Amino acid sequence: MATSVTRWDDLVQGEELAHLATEPAREAQLASLPDELHASVRATLPFDSLYLHQRDAWDAAQRGEHVIVTTGTASGKTLAFNLPVLDAVSRDPKLRTLYLYPTKALAQDQARTLASFRLPRARAAIYDGDTPGERRWQIRRWANLILTNPDMLHVGVLPHHDRWGDVLSNLRYVVVDEAHVYRGVFGSHVGNVLRRLRRLAHVYGADPQFLLASATIANPGELARSLLGVSVTVIGADAAPRAERTIALWNPPLLDEELGQRASAIGEASRLYAALVSRGLRTICFAKSRRSAELIHRFTAERVEPATAARLAPYRAGYTPEQRREIERRLVEGELLGVAATDALELGIDIGPSTARSPSAFPARSLRCASSGVGPAGAGTASPC
């Protein structure tokens, strides 16, 4: 029996379309698991091979190099930096690792990932502003995988390094996830904190390796060097498989040629978003601000049938942890048909498995839109989908 496939080809037509390109599907490039990988870690893995970039990251870490992995969404960056860490603590549980995440929500998500390995010698704990005071000394004493953020490292760890002497003297790895967030003035502050961490570790007799993960950016090596002040090995050749994808840049239509006034990018994003979810296509629409995400959600809900509107949700910073967890659950389990979000979504949960590895939740024909601002005619302003 033939399978019906819902398409959006007719949506990406017209004078608003500034660019349209299709990238072909890509097969995975695999490498064997390293022979020296600890047996307990190997036993937890449900596969007997790695993507080539994951193996390259492992090899670089074993050579004692600082590493930054900059590959696409759902390409296995988390496993790339977790394998050396879990191998080390499985051999010597006294060794410590600091995981730095830009948001508390992402640390919570990654703590669940570490717990899923069920390694008896891996003791993970979150140390942030929400950690009760009576638990903090316990974490300093027994946890060998400590998940925190740069702010907490700055105000809660480094100024009290005497309390953290055992951690600092046994510090083996420092993992910096979402490293592309640390740019500009904020990045310079984080760079100073990381260099201070390196200096204090040296005082306590340790020389930790840094394992960074970043979105695909043009200058990952330069970014890592500016953050750490040391040379870093760049792992940027993405060997993960990828389905065929279409990239469209959408220029809002011109309303007043003389004034160069174009239609609202928010309105255009809402119109496309509504058309996609009305066809049953699971869609994530990224916006630049909280207000934009809320407006796109509201405008879209007004355009579609009530039953479809009930399966849409906004996602942004400022929600309570309970609200975020509920949206994340509905997203991963496939209850939601569409989400209008800021980058808090990608910094709050790992959406890679939702879009690429859970076909029931986000099949291959799902789509992500990004709404940008509005500029004058001819300025190249576009809303890419």
Domain ranges of the chain: 9-25+243-384, 30-235
Beta strands in the chain (DSSP E): 17-23, 30-32, 49-51, 67-70, 96-100, 124-126, 145-148, 171-176, 209-214, 233-235, 245-250, 254-256, 261-262, 283-286, 312-315, 338-341, 367-370, 383-384
Quote the pLDDT of residue 358.
27
- For residue 306, the tally of other CB atoms under 10 A from its CB is 7
- As a whole number of angstroms, the distance between CA 324 and CA 29 comes to 35
What global pTM score does this model have? 0.80
Q: At what angle do helices 184-203 and 220-228 cross, to 10 degrees?
A: 50
Listing DSSP states for 307-318 in one string gives: HHHTTEEEE-TT
Rounded (5°) CA angle 103-106-112:
145
- As a whole number of angstroms, the distance between CA 125 and CA 114 comes to 10
> What kind and span of H or E run contains 319?
none
Quote the pLDDT of residue 351.
52
Q: 253 and 108 in contact (C-beta within 8 Å)?
A: no
Q: 179 and 187 in contact (C-beta within 8 Å)?
A: no
**Residue-by-residue pLDDT tens, the chain, 385 positions:** 444 555 677 777 777 888 889 889 999 999 999 999 999 999 999 999 999 999 999 999 999 999 999 998 889 999 999 999 999 999 999 999 999 999 887 888 889 889 999 999 999 999 998 889 889 999 999 999 999 999 999 999 999 999 999 999 999 999 999 999 999 999 999 999 999 999 999 999 999 999 999 988 999 999 999 999 999 999 999 999 988 888 888 888 888 888 888 899 999 999 999 999 999 988 989 888 889 999 999 999 999 999 999 999 998 767 776 787 788 788 878 899 999 988 767 655 555 443 322 222 333 333 445 544 433 333 333 333 3
Q: At what angle do helices 77-91 and 104-116 cross, to 10 degrees?
A: 60
CATH 3.40.50 assigned to domain 9-25+243-384? The reply is yes
pLDDT tens, residue by residue, 292-307? 999 999 999 999 999 9
**What is the topology classification, in CATH, of domain 30-235?**
Rossmann fold (3.40.50)
- As a whole number of angstroms, the distance between CA 332 and CA 315 comes to 14
Q: Do domains 9-25+243-384 and 30-235 have the same CATH topology?
A: yes
Quote the pLDDT of residue 365.
36
Quote the pLDDT of residue 248.
87
Quote the pLDDT of residue 331.
81
